[in-house]
Structure 1
């Protein structure tokens, strides 16, 4: 382990390529601070151990980009909401899909798990908030009142309240037992991005695009302070574990706030850009940010951060007192009562009859097919076993005992200077980290053997369909590289299977995949476009011609897929680089589609 760096307050832990396309959202596990979930435009949720470079699990099932993701308190489950409004819950310990929940009519913007019950709340661009019973697969209540997207949801530590924040600049507090709104806070002047309950006291913090952080007393339901020191929209807040101060993830800095009396205790420079989530573990604060396909993690040593008392030297000019200070002596506030037992279904008000008679789409219970299509693929068996299936079942989350090492200074070494590796140890070090590659190559070899058996029968389409069903794009590319060299193997049937895959290939980060996709699309356009065009523009035939009808249906499907691809090609045709000219040529070949 690296020798702890005694001179740094913050440092970058690592940067990873998290998805094959852009990262849309991410979430840290707040219990351990050691787990990270990322959601991408590739419709996947990937699970990572913070500070380790390899993906532990890749969760599939969504057919649209993943917009929001969240761990439950024990970090045994993760939920992801998509652009289409569907939710999927995975059991990480069992490595399988647990629930598919349908009902929202637009993007999922916010999620939170109940602190100790089997409930889940979701907020959407459709302005609705839904409370789900994870065990029964159903929506048990719907909260209405916001007029714009619901950006953040948070259950109170005692599990009795749900707070919601919206683009409409309001915060609403809902009583779960009564099923109604308790109060509304309206002091923000911009969209509210984040809300956090104090871990012990009846206090709520909110951060907004109006560049302020506000503190709300939940006994008197009034604002007790408002910061003015933020340089941009406030996206991340976290109370210290003991509740002594509030951290704000500002652009390239961490700000530390106190209240009653209210002030900024410290400003710590951190190079995380627009930080997306914060967690605290072992006297360290972990911050994560994303840009395109990359995710970066940063560490702040909280033992070197000012959290109380007077403002430290060098930060006094950044001290931003909070307005409306509370009178002295009013710092003690009621604490949350946490029940000793888990939450039962009777604690939450169920939907009324009018809610139960909601549109068919909201009542639909997902079929077993929905859950079969979803999977949890273990990418890194070694880390998966260590984190989710430890020998001791006391804790399923990564150990908290070791802090993240600070970066090495010049001259520092990971091993004592006199220590020399033996042959066996050296080999073990060399092999370390290659398990993932071995698992992937073994899987690919097995899949190729399966395809080869089908290929032997001479049925190219069945071979390709089998490769597609394996959900392994590398196998699809292997087959296309063969059929691209033999145009005589191509039939109209093959086009209907290949075209949906080409869209994925053209948007891949791998140059070879893009090249294969371009070659296949060019071949289809040159060889089959005249047939597709003539078939679709031909006058209706007299009588029944089953063969002609089948060909017409196939041509219609191909035309629809080609139209979708033409938009991708147009967007890529202007790019500078290796494939720019290939996309320009494709754009010319696809021009007749617009007529």
Structure 2
């Protein structure tokens, strides 16, 4: 008898290089579960369709790293907040900037769209919460009460309340109509990272770095229960659409909780590290995580996960969508949100604990909006997702097609979840799947349809090399194991590619070295530049930077254009070398250049002085060209940011 194919409960879907620099924020579209927005230190917001390799759209306009992003419920608008405190709203269907909102004095840590009205809420490191009217570019209210950074904001399903979580260990509930705080929920002993409203009942969940999840009754304004013993800080939680349970994205696992009484229904092992956001579609939970410039997506099959006190239902016997399945009959039913049938009215302007900050649009706002762009990177995917199929409504991207699960490597590794015992207050069932230990390769789980697991965006591919050249063979379901000869040929393919690149680089360096031994350093640098390979220039500058006595004014005229290229490189080592060389030139030659250019003209003919003056003018022109680049990068965070800020101070003499 044939052995049935057993599919996995959780698997890695893909990994992409999302930005040219580090990813700083990301969010999933909650309506489709298939749209992903990422914000990066490169000041861009990029849009992706889950399980597709190419960027759909890239949004520009911010001049500092993007710290927070949020999609509205229909996935037609996106808002992004930056490190400088500016907020931009884009219309995705029209592919254009909609609004620029200025007013915060520090990083934007959290954002949320109102479910019905045209409003956006923003929370900042300046401890303020602001409610913005998108139509009029104005701040309707400023809510003050937190004493530290506001990490998460969520509107209630009926659009009447706003919940906020902050580093001051508190959760606050704000009444939008009255413009004041309704209640404060103390109890957490660490920063509160996330809050989430129950989809139907007057219930709020909050997750904290103190490794607890607390449930709050919004009628009695008191704690319902507390889940303790999370494996790490709680960063992402999500209620099931029918409200039967809460999902918590823990370190390398998904946990399923109930709250009356508090208990753990199930634990599913998922190698997603620090998962940043969760969404549900077609009985599948999608989780996304980021590390440096990479973003990874994962899938959990919820039909194989225990979500109530009873055993998980058979997907064949109960194929109704989640929104139609009956909730747990034993759970007490609280008051239900009354959702308006039309858009809600504009909040009244009152003075209770709030401050009106309505601004009139300025010419600076208009200029910012002209400089902000929505660049469509993939027209086919863009048209499929954002262009309406008819005059009534658009079709969400492939909502009817679940992601296919790869087959198990070994059916024996699948274990049934243990039934939780009601005698324990908080308990965790055995995981549905024991993930086998993987060898240290780039990917830990084969991806469906034979696609490579790491898919760099085309514009971010390293020069001369493809990541796929170094990937092991993708494992196709039900295919026999590769023979030793085949495995060796795959390894040799990447090895041969690397050898070709390194051999060419070594040959070019030998050429430069031969020139250096027969002539001066200036001629050898000229030969390196003529080869048109930045890696050779970097190798040479790393040597020259160690001996300042080798630098002359004519060498600066050759090196400065190359430094400008290095500072714009996506490779960290290139940027570091460029900063070192530029700092050396500024410290050693900038006083000389400014003095010579400021000196009165000489009387008579002095050939050497004229040549020196010409070189100084050329260096001055090249330095002025680099000034704007250094100024724009001085706002970056981290080591490079401090290096560019130091260079910016040194270049002040140019003005």
Q: Could you tell me the TM-score, scaled by structure 1's length?
A: 0.71
Native 8 Å contact 1:131 1:139 kept in 2: yes
Are the aligned partners of 2:8 and 2:407 in contact in 1 as well (CA < 8 Å)? Answer: no
Q: Which runs of 5+ in 1 are unaligned?
A: 313-327, 412-428, 441-476, 573-582, 584-588
Give distance in 2, aligned partners of 1:489 and 1:47: 46
Tell whether the 8 Å contact from 2:68 to 2:109 is kept in structure 1 after alignment. yes
Asked if residue 535 in structure 1 is aligned to residue 589 in structure 2, the reply is no
Pairwise CA distance, 1:105: 0.5
Kept in 1, the 8 Å contact 2:253–2:271? The answer is yes
Alignment of 1:77-476 (within 5 A): 77-310=77-310, 331-345=332-346, 347-349=347-349, 355-356=355-356, 366-392=364-390, 394-408=393-407
State whether residues 499 and 521 of structure 1, in contact with CA within 8 Å, keep that contact through their aligned partners in structure 2: no
Relative to 1, partners in 2 of residues 1:355 and 1:537: Cα closer, same or farther, differing over 3 Å?
farther
Separation in 2, partners of 1:354, 1:363: 22
Name the counterpart of 1:503. 567
Deviation track 1:73-96 (CA, whole Å, cap 9, x = no partner) reads: 110111111010101111111111
3-state SS of the aligned residue for 2:56? strand
Q: Deviations over 1:7-50 (max 9, x none)?
A: 31111111111111111110000111010001111111110001
Task: Note the aligned Cα RMSD (angstroms).
Answer: 4.5
Report the equivalent of 1:12.
12
Distance 1:302 1:30 in 2: 16
Q: Which residue number in structure 1 is paired with residue 544 of structure 2? A: none
Q: 1:529 to 1:180 in 2, by over 3 A?
A: closer
**Paired residue total:** 486
Which is worse superposed, 245-254 or 260-269?
A: 260-269
Distance 1:262 1:521 in 2: 57
For 2:137 and 2:338, the matched residues in 1 are separated by 29
State whether residues 120 and 132 of structure 1, in contact with CA within 8 Å, keep that contact through their aligned partners in structure 2.
yes
* Residue 509 (structure 1) shift: 3.6
1:356-386 Cα shifts (integer Å, max 9, x gaps): 579x9x9867432101111111111111111
Report the equivalent of 1:48.
48
Q: Deviations over 1:218-266 (max 9, x none)?
A: 0000001001130100001000000010000010111101122321111
Distance 1:243 1:330, change over 3 A: closer
* 1:292 CA drift (Å): 0.8
CA distance in 2, matches of 1:15, 1:336: 38
3-state secondary structure, aligned to 1:303: helix
Indicate conservation of the 8 Å contact 1:23/1:293, yes or no: yes
Contact 1:102 1:364 (C-alpha < 8 Å) held by counterparts: no
| Distance in structure 2 (CA, Å) of the matches to 1:382 and 1:226 | 47
Q: How far, CA to CA, are the matches of 1:492 and 1:273 in structure 2? A: 48
Q: Within 1, Cα distance between the matches of 2:234 and 2:395?
A: 32
**CA displacement, residues 256-299 of structure 1 (integer Å, 9 cap, x when unaligned):** 01122321111111111110000011101000001111111010
| Aligned partners of 1:157 and 1:199 also within 8 Å | yes
Determine if contact 2:190/2:209 at 8 Å carries over to the other structure.
yes
Q: 1:504: Cα distance to partner?
A: 2.6
The residue correspondences of 1:470-489 to structure 2 (distance < 5 A) are none
The 3 A distance-change label for structure 1 pair 85 and 115 is: same
> 1:61: which partner in 2?
61
CA shift in 2, pair 1:66/1:493, >3 Å:
farther
Q: Identify the residue that residue 464 of structure 1 maps to in structure 2.
A: none
Contact 2:18 2:46 in 1 (8 A): yes
Q: Distance in 2 between matches of 1:534 and 1:265?
A: 73
2: distance between equivalents of 1:93 and 1:563?
A: 35
Partner SS, residue 367 of structure 1: helix
* Aligned match of 1:424: none
Q: What is the DSSP-based 3-state SS (H/G/I as helix, E as strand, rest coil) of the residue aligned with 2:568?
A: helix
- Structure 2 unmatched runs, 5+: 313-328, 411-449, 462-529, 538-551, 602-612
Q: 1:408: Cα distance to partner?
A: 4.5
Whether the aligned pair in 2 keeps the contact of 1:480 and 1:520 (CA below 8 Å) is no
- Structure 1 range deviating more: 193-202 or 391-400: 391-400
> TM-score scaled by structure 2?
0.65
Contact 1:154 1:163 in 2 (8 A): yes
Contact persistence 1:30–1:280 (CA under 8 A): yes
Deviation at 1:216, TM superposition (A): 0.1
Residues 255 and 161 (structure 1), Cα distance of their counterparts in 2 relative to 1, 3 Å cut: same
> What SS class does the counterpart of residue 273 from structure 1 fall into?
coil
1:193-227 CA distance string (max 9 Å, x none): 00000000000000000000000000000001001
Report the secondary structure of 2:115's partner residue. coil
C-alpha distance in 2 between matches for 1:329 and 1:551: 80
- Cα deviation for residue 554 of structure 1 reads 5.9
